[in-house]
């Protein structure tokens, strides 16, 4: 129960923090609705498997140079995603109809974009290397069920929080198209800010 509770607590903290992925999730939900965007809540299950393996192996020995390279590449990728979404927005290919399930990016491509975003962000590596990884190792050392309980608590809670984001912002898109368009523009600006900040950190211009 200790490791299950720890997983749930950490997931609540992680889900409440704004970041590039949650911004991307909100923007896609507003643009395409929950039917297309719901696939994104399972992105951590795809992204974190290799990250967990790396984190468990290296734990706190994460090289700062590698972190900077990931930050730089991740920042450039975020800017590329934001630019693509901006072109789609300007071209009018984003639909704001509540029952539209055909417009925009397909679910497979959405899932891949979310996964690549996770792999190119230093956050998950540092998160698993410094916090989740050691707890997972402690749980596995105690018993297999303790380790599995930690993973179940964390991912069950985190995916549920992401699902709530999708449902809430899907409802919001039904209120007023002007409000929806404004929030989508805001998510694009936030993604550009996140991307620029990662690039600045990756170049070593500021301390992380």
Q: From first to last of its 208 residues, what are the pLDDT tens digits of the chain? A: 788 888 888 788 777 766 778 888 888 888 888 888 899 999 988 888 888 887 667 655 556 676 677 778 777 877 887 777 777 667 654 544 444 444 456 778 888 888 887 787 777 877 777 677 777 878 888 888 888 998 999 999 999 989 988 998 888 777 766 766 776 777 778 778 877 887 887 787 766 5
Which residue is associated with the tokens 């600045």? 200
- Domain span at residue 12 reads 2-202
Within a domain: 207: no
Which tokens sit at 5?
């509770």
Going by the DSSP 8-state scheme, the letter that residue 96 receives in this structure is -
Packing angle, helices 43-58 and 107-119, rounded to 10: 20
E strands, the chain, are none
User: Does residue 118 belong to any structural domain of this protein?
Assistant: yes
Note whether 58 and 129 are within 8 A (CB).
Answer: yes
CA–CA separation, 97 and 115 (whole Å)? 27
In a domain, 159, yes or no: yes
Question: Residues 30, 171: contact at Cβ < 8 Å?
Answer: no
| SS3 category, 121 | coil
Residue 125 lies in a domain: yes
Chain centre distance of CA 78: 11
Total count of domains within the chain: 1
Predicted TM-score of the model (pTM): 0.70
CB 191 within 8 A of CB 86: no
Q: Would you say residue 208 lies in a domain?
A: no
CA dist list (Å): 49 to 20, 73, 106, 115, 116: 19, 20, 23, 11, 13
């Amino acid at each position: 129960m200790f490791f299950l509770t720890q997983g749930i607590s950490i997931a609540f903290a992680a889900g409440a923090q704004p970041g590039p992925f949650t911004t991307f999730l909100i923007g896609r939900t507003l643009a395409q609705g929950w039917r297309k965007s719901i696939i994104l809540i399972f992105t951590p299950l795809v992204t974190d498997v290799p990250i967990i393996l790396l984190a468990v192996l290296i734990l706190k020995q994460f090289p700062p140079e590698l972190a900077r390279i990931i930050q730089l590449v991740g920042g450039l990728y975020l800017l590329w995603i934001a630019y693509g979404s901006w072109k789609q927005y300007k071209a009018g290919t984003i639909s704001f109809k509540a029952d539209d399930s055909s417009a925009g990016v397909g679910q497979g491509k959405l899932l891949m974009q979310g996964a690549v975003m996770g792999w190119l962000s230093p956050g998950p590596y540092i998160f698993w290397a410094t916090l989740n990884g050691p707890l997972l190792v402690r749980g596995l050392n105690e018993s297999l069920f303790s380790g599995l309980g930690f993973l179940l608590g964390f991912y069950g809670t985190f995916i549920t929080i992401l699902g709530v984001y999708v449902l809430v912002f899907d409802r919001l898109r039904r209120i007023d198209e002007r409000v929806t368009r404004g929030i989508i523009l805001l998510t694009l600006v936030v993604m550009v800010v996140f991307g620029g900040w990662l690039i600045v950190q990756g170049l070593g211009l500021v301390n992380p």
